[in-house]
Amino acid sequence: MPTSTDFSGFHTRSVHAGARPDPHTGSRAMPIHQTTSFVFEDSEAAAAYFNLQEYGNTYSRIMNPTVAALEERIANLEGAVGGVGFASGLAAQSSALFTLLQPGDHVLASAALYGGTVTQFKHLLRKLSVELDFVASNRLQDWQAGIKANTKLFFGETIGNPSGSILDIAGLAELAHAHDIPLMIDNTFATPYLCRPLEWGADIVVHSATKFLGGHGTSIGGLVVESGEFDWSNGRFPLMEDPSPAYHGLKFHETFGTFAYLMKLRAETLRDLGGCMSPFNAFLIAQGIETLPLRMRQHVHNARAVAAYLQGAGGVTQVHYAGLDSHPDHSLAQRYLPAGAGAVFCFDLAGGRDAGITLIENLQLFSHLANVGDAKSLVIHPATTTHRQLSDAELAAAGIGPGTIRISVGIEDAEDLIADLDQALSQIPGATS
Ligand SMILES: Cc1ncc(COP(=O)(O)O)c(C=O)c1O
């Protein structure tokens, strides 16, 4: 009998990877293991788990079978050696960073990032004495110019939130690796259905599972997966090679090889920072992933139709959707996202802030809220909400103006979405729809 991971099709793996009928009850749906802790077979087994000599369930802050099923599913879809679940996308990111960085290190990150990530990086990393520079362009020579002797990480989003810019993942991976630097990608907006960064040379992928993976706006969650291919023993990551005082002198790279980073992420960072995913959210996100390919096809179909409509709509000055050939990153989108440039993008209104408020207040089908990647269509004004902590210069670097509107195109009928946008745009004084 083949196991779920023996199948190669993306749709099949979305439904089956990580999950099997429950051997004890026969339950076909993934059981929700709503328990804090697990009874040990005996004292010897308990000691082996705590020594990391055996891999097994002890306490749900560190590991839980329902969360593990989701971790296996996302790792399978991303082509990773494994994954770790977290309470949110930002918990996943901060934990992914903490595991490899130490004071005095330097991070080089794309400027086209989710506002919460910019804030997390700018303030949290600096508080920990980690240096940070943003690169406001996709040109590899600009990234190269930013590399310092202490640079320990490149970071970017496959599709930038909300600018819609596309990262040159293969180019950045090659540049990073030439300097013994790992590349970490936030693949939230693309999902593994549209792009698998590890296949282009990235080393670590992080997700806000809150968005398209869960897909229904019900659960906050985050995930980290790793290729297992980065050489953590290159002499630049002592945390991975030296005896760990937080784990009675364990040398993670020597002991776990390919799994060193993920083991350290789970056994130390998740254990100590504690931002674990709840079993119930893992269940909902894993169930969401069962329909990920179907939803992403409809999201992309609708996003293309809505972007094409907006391009010719009165009062709209620019549409920042990399699926349009007018977008500066269109050729990168064709390379990295051949099935579609996602379903979250921005457009600018000639009437600025007031026009933005009029549009948002008159939309009926689009919900005004701070989320993306829901089956339902969503809209927000980034300058006054998600990105309001950013200075004007940072806003400009992230591609956001006063009249910029971000939409997350859902899976309704495209005709209904266009009709809703059309009636709301026509309410803006001076705009002819
Ligand atoms: C691209 C991206 N990454 C990370 C996050 C953070 O995810 P979470 O809200 O699950 O912490 C978000 C949230 O909007 C996001 O859009």
Does some domain include residue 430? no
Does some domain include residue 140? yes
Of the candidates 288, 311, 340, which is a domain's last residue?
A: 288
Q: Provide the residue range defining the domain that includes 345.
A: 292-425
Of the candidates 256, 288, 320, which is a domain's last residue?
A: 288
Q: Are residues 326 and 283 in the same domain?
A: no
| Ligand 1 in reach of 90 Cβ (< 6 A) | yes
| Ligand 1 in reach of 351 Cβ (< 6 A) | no
Return the CATH number at 381. 3.90.1150.10
Q: Are residues 165 and 297 in the same domain?
A: no
Q: List the chain pLDDT tens, one digit each, 433 residues.
A: 445 456 789 999 999 999 999 999 999 999 999 999 999 999 999 999 888 888 889 999 999 999 999 999 999 999 999 999 999 999 999 999 999 999 999 999 999 899 899 999 999 999 999 999 999 988 999 999 999 999 999 999 999 988 889 999 999 999 999 999 999 999 999 999 999 999 999 999 999 999 999 999 999 999 999 999 999 999 999 999 999 999 999 999 999 999 999 999 999 999 999 999 999 999 999 999 999 999 999 999 999 999 999 999 999 999 999 999 999 999 999 999 999 999 999 999 999 888 998 999 999 999 999 999 999 999 998 877 877 777 777 777 767 888 899 999 999 999 999 999 999 999 998 776 5
| Ligand 1 in reach of 277 Cβ (< 6 A) | no
Does some domain include residue 431? no
Q: Are residues 145 and 157 in the same domain?
A: yes
Q: Are residues 271 and 133 in the same domain?
A: yes
The residue to which tokens 């291919």 are assigned? 229
Tell me which residue has its CA closest to atom 2 in ligand 1: 114
Write down the pLDDT at residue 6.
65
Distance 6 CA to ligand 1 centre (A): 32
Task: Choose one of 90, 113, 273, 371 to mutate for the ligand 1 pocket test, by most ligand atoms within 8 angstroms of C-beta.
Answer: 90
How far, in Å, CA of 63 to CA of 35, rounded?
Answer: 11
Q: Are residues 263 and 412 in the same domain?
A: no
Distance 211 CA to ligand 1 centre (A): 8
* Ligand 1 atom closest to 161 (CA): 1
Q: Are residues 339 and 378 in the same domain?
A: yes
Distance 59 CA to ligand 1 centre (A): 27
* Ligand 1 atom closest to 92 (CA): 11
Q: What are the Cα distances from residue 355, in Å, to 382, 392, 403, 428? A: 14, 19, 7, 6
Write down the pLDDT at residue 2.
42
Distance 188 CA to ligand 1 centre (A): 7
Distance 92 CA to ligand 1 centre (A): 10
The DSSP-derived string for 158-207 is SB-TTT--B--HHHHHHHHHHTT--EEEE-TTTHHHH--GGGGT-SEEEE
Return the CATH number at 12. 3.40.640.10
Number of domains in the chain: 2
Q: Are residues 275 and 134 in the same domain?
A: yes
Does some domain include residue 432? no
How far, in Å, CA of 187 to CA of 78, rounded?
Answer: 10
| Ligand 1 in reach of 374 Cβ (< 6 A) | no
| Ligand 1 in reach of 186 Cβ (< 6 A) | yes
